Amino acid sequence: MTTRIEIAPGVVHHPGWLDRPAQEALLADLRAVVKAAPLFVPRMPRTGKPFSVRMSNCGALGWVSDEKGYRYQPAHPETGEPWPAMPDALLAAWQALGSYPHPPEACLINLYDATAKMSLHQDRDEDDLNAPVLSLSLGDTAVFRVGGTSRGGRTVSLKLQSGDALSFGGPARLAFHGIDRIIAGTSTLLPQGGRINLTLRRVTRPPP
Ligand code: MD3
Ligand code: FE
């Protein structure tokens, strides 16, 4: 049984998309990814203020942020190495849920400890805004918030549990969204607790 809940136009929640064995297998893939592409602490453009989440990426392109700005680049900001390949399970999730005829180019990995959060923002660093963004959650439950396309509008809040998928396309692609908090102790997947969020994205406009 797979449930599909449209929580707002273009925002589709798939609770329990990955069962526990699939979550464990994906976690093993991600351990190999972060061994090759170590977690880094992104910093805010201009101010250099560190984010509370740590990040890495896999796929052809990775999202990075530092004093110079937000951008996608083909290499790790600290090692200079290309990002590791995207695990097959992620490509399969995109094929099943992405409803987009071109493959994803970037998978951003966000690691939250119990105190990390992400303030409301839009994702607009991609050239191809026709493609959806697909998110997968692993580990502790997060309180996620999503609004409309202008700051200060009404928002709705949703708990994201380990194994949940959430896709954002069409009218939701430029919605404001963020993570209010992590609820510690809600999952046994990660031995140290915390949460991993993966976002699969198309970055470049596909060839005609
Ligand atoms: C709505 N990540 O990496 S995932 C991000 O849980 C990000 O780590 C959050 O926001 C996290 O940029 C939220 C859900 C999500 C991801 C991308 C979106 C929602 C989105 C893009 C457009 C609209
Ligand atoms: Fe985002």
What range defines the domain where residue 91 resides?
5-201
Q: What angle do CA 76, 81, 86 make, to 5 degrees?
A: 75
Nearest CA to ligand 1 atom 18: 133
Kindly give the number of the ligand 1 atom that is closest to the alpha carbon of 112: 8
Residue 207 lies in a domain: no
CATH of the domain at 48: 2.60.120.590
Residue 102 lies in a domain: yes
Signed CA dihedral, 47, 51, 55, 59: sign only: negative
Q: How far apart are CA 131 and CA 168, in angstroms?
A: 9
**pLDDT tens for each residue of the chain, 208 residues long:** 689 999 999 999 999 999 999 999 999 999 999 999 999 999 999 999 999 999 999 999 999 999 999 999 999 999 999 999 999 999 999 999 989 999 999 999 999 999 999 999 999 999 999 999 999 999 999 999 999 999 999 999 999 999 999 999 999 999 999 999 999 999 999 999 999 999 999 999 998 8
pLDDT digits (tens, 9 = 90+) for 104-148: 999 999 999 999 999 999 999 999 999 999 999 999 999 999 999
Nearest CA to ligand 1 atom 3: 199
Nearest CA to ligand 1 atom 19: 177
CA of 185 to the centre of ligand 2 (A): 24
Kindly give the number of the ligand 1 atom that is closest to the alpha carbon of 11: 1
pLDDT of residue 207: 86
Nearest CA to ligand 1 atom 13: 178
What are the phi and psi torsion angles at 166 (to 5°)?
Answer: -145, 130
- Cβ of 11 closer than 6 Å to ligand 1, yes or no, is no
- Cβ of 179 closer than 6 Å to ligand 1, yes or no, is yes
- Long-range CB pairs of 39-48 (<8 Å, 24+ gap) are 39/109, 39/111, 40/64, 40/76, 40/77, 40/78, 42/66, 43/67, 45/69, 45/70
pLDDT of residue 208: 80
Residue 191 lies in a domain: yes
- Cβ of 123 closer than 6 Å to ligand 1, yes or no, is yes
CA of 122 to the centre of ligand 2 (A): 6
- Cβ of 196 closer than 6 Å to ligand 1, yes or no, is no
Domain count, the chain: 1
Which residues, including other chains, have CB under 8 Å from residue 28's CB and lie 6 or more apart? none
Query: What does the chain come to in residues?
Result: 208
Residue 208 lies in a domain: no
Residue 183 lies in a domain: yes
Residue 206 lies in a domain: no
pLDDT of residue 169: 96
